[in-house]
Amino acid sequence: MVTYHKDPEAVARLTSQQRRVTQDAGTEPAFQNEYWDNKEPGIYVDVVSGEPLFASTDKYDSHTGWPSFTRPLEADNVVTKPDVGLGMVRTEVRSAHGDSHLGHLFDDGPVADGGLRYCMNSAALRFVPAAELEAQGYGAYRHLFEKEDA
């Protein structure tokens, strides 16, 4: 079983944008980030700890310019807490084991999928394509992308 944690070496390798977002609770510009329009199958993991966070199967176009998901891939890897910064009350989303700021949770997501929108920063995520799940140690999630025989 893999144990995820905040990896000091991973933190040291962060770009200035990744550090600002994950360590200082920043936000990257809308429509100017790596994954907002990514439609490839795969999973998104914490750039600091590697813990699995979201799957492309739960990703949708929220028209906000950030990657948005209806639910976490692993609920235990995502924590929320109140955020009263910028003069408003929001719900911050952080990785449970890496303690990375990921983004915010809103209640304006697709109703049919539970009504939640996990609005994430690409800078906090690393995308693992479905074809590379086994090689990168995430083979347990391969079933999400296998087509069922008719």
Residues labelled as active-site residues: 119
Tell me the C-alpha distance between 14 and 103, whole Å.
17
Query: Which residues, in sequence order, are CB contacts of 8 under 8 Å at separation 6+?
Result: none
**Residues in a beta bridge with 45:** 52, 126
Tell me the C-alpha distance between 150 and 147, whole Å.
9
What secondary structure letter does DSSP report for 54?
Answer: E
